Structure 1
């Protein structure tokens, strides 16, 4: 049985990365929607796909005046969550999920760029988030959100208390970029040199951190996402390995 993962993408370079193969291994066909395109998310049935994945982006979830499609995305996510259909959000995707659940999204205390520790909560230790404990994960964000009512906080970090939350076993939001590959990281560094330098960071130092931490992060990310997919209600999580 083929399953469909509908992926909302806000920039070509911010894609599924290392998570795409995990989806394939679990029997999903990946279908991207470029939300900044002419059609945005119009005409999408919020409950139709087996899984909705909402990726990151350079904009803030609250910048609806400049990016009207974000309000449409929030409506789509809200309807899907109300239908209790599986949703997975990363960074901006997590913030849009929080907004869809009625929580404010706003600027945080710092612009986090680099590999940082993420600490699972007690509930997170009993969830797929346990795989990231002790493994520096890639952060690239300066926004945060209040924990939505009815969700379970699964992880936090030194600078940001809300790094991951869940609803049951079918909705998961993570603030950090677990999808990031070394190739994606290099592309992001090349396109964001001014931002990196403005934060007083050395791109070469970030590359050295990548060389030290990226491989372990890939293992943790794949384990987290694979376990979460395997736990989705029904038979949506049975992995089917490709040769």
Structure 2
């Protein structure tokens, strides 16, 4: 019987917990989505969930004038982080955590979209990200961030130096998408980001083929990674 609650803040419907959902449930978490666009999506005590996951989305943290909810999410995260509660951020979620910790978030000037492996730091190799060593993960971003004060850098790529960080034991930020479903559900990503892919001149067929090629190993490694992290967030 589940006894813990995971709240996932979702910005676009197809960027959900994906392959992380099953390991979360196996670890005893009941999952509750909070969707942007619902008036009450942040109407919870930010310190109450046993786990908070802030998911990705195609906007920038610095676009808070156009998207006022960004400031509300940052304030929510600041309260959560001040209470040292387990928190996971993916892509936009990682950028929001970085900003909540006082770091700058900004355009990288490039679109890093597609499957490629990470370069893990010594800290990364000693962390749950070791399960992702030599695994091609999905990248889908155009922004980056400075490493927050007190955080450990876990992973990089040749184009983006800050791909993952931990802040203490309980806060994990992932710029990439280990959670992405790469089977039929990947079509939702391809359709949802069609304009971005066209503007970047990227091949939809190529991404689809890479998802088939790398998806099975990524799913296994991502499940091992998130399971490992969840085992130790209360240490």
TM-score, scaled relative to structure 2: 0.96
Q: CA separation in 2, counterparts of 1:11 and 1:192?
A: 11
Indicate the residue corresponding to 1:83 in structure 2.
83
Q: CA separation in 1, counterparts of 2:203 and 2:55?
A: 26
Indicate the residue corresponding to 1:117 in structure 2.
117
Indicate the residue corresponding to 1:214 in structure 2.
215
Indicate the residue corresponding to 1:194 in structure 2.
195
Q: CA separation in 2, counterparts of 1:119 and 1:196?
A: 25
Q: CA separation in 2, counterparts of 1:206 and 1:11?
A: 20
Contact 1:9 1:32 (C-alpha < 8 Å) held by counterparts:
yes
Question: Number of residue pairs matched?
Answer: 233
> CA shift at 1:167, angstroms?
1.6
Indicate the residue corresponding to 2:139 in structure 1.
139
Contact 1:52 1:88 (C-alpha < 8 Å) held by counterparts:
yes
Gaps of 5+ in 1: 235-243
Q: CA separation in 2, counterparts of 1:49 and 1:191?
A: 29
Indicate the residue corresponding to 2:101 in structure 1.
101
Q: How far does the alpha carbon of each residue in 1:75-122 deviate from its partner, in whole angstroms, 9 at most, with x for none?
A: 111111111010000000000000000011100131111102211100
Q: CA separation in 2, counterparts of 1:193 and 1:79?
A: 36
Q: Does the residue aligned with 1:18 lie in a helix, a strand or coil?
A: helix
Q: Does the residue aligned with 1:129 lie in a helix, a strand or coil?
A: helix
> CA shift at 1:209, angstroms?
0.9
Q: CA separation in 2, counterparts of 1:114 and 1:143?
A: 15
Gaps of 5+ in 2: none
The 5-angstrom pairing of residues 28-39 of structure 1 reads 28-39=29-40
Q: How far does the alpha carbon of each residue in 1:24-52 deviate from its partner, in whole angstroms, 9 at most, with x for none?
A: 000000011112322241x3211111011
Q: Structure 1 stretches (4+) deviating beyond 3 angstroms?
A: none
Q: Does the residue aligned with 2:57 lie in a helix, a strand or coil?
A: coil
Q: CA separation in 2, counterparts of 1:38 and 1:81?
A: 23
183-192 or 207-216, which deviates more: 183-192
The reply to whether residue 12 of structure 1 matches residue 13 of structure 2 is yes
Q: CA separation in 2, counterparts of 1:23 and 1:174?
A: 17
Q: CA separation in 2, counterparts of 1:15 and 1:191?
A: 13
Report the RMSD for the aligned CA atoms in angstroms. 1.2
Q: CA separation in 2, counterparts of 1:20 and 1:174?
A: 16
Contact 1:155 1:164 (C-alpha < 8 Å) held by counterparts:
yes
Q: Does the residue aligned with 1:39 lie in a helix, a strand or coil?
A: coil
> CA shift at 1:212, angstroms?
1.1
Q: Does the residue aligned with 1:8 lie in a helix, a strand or coil?
A: strand
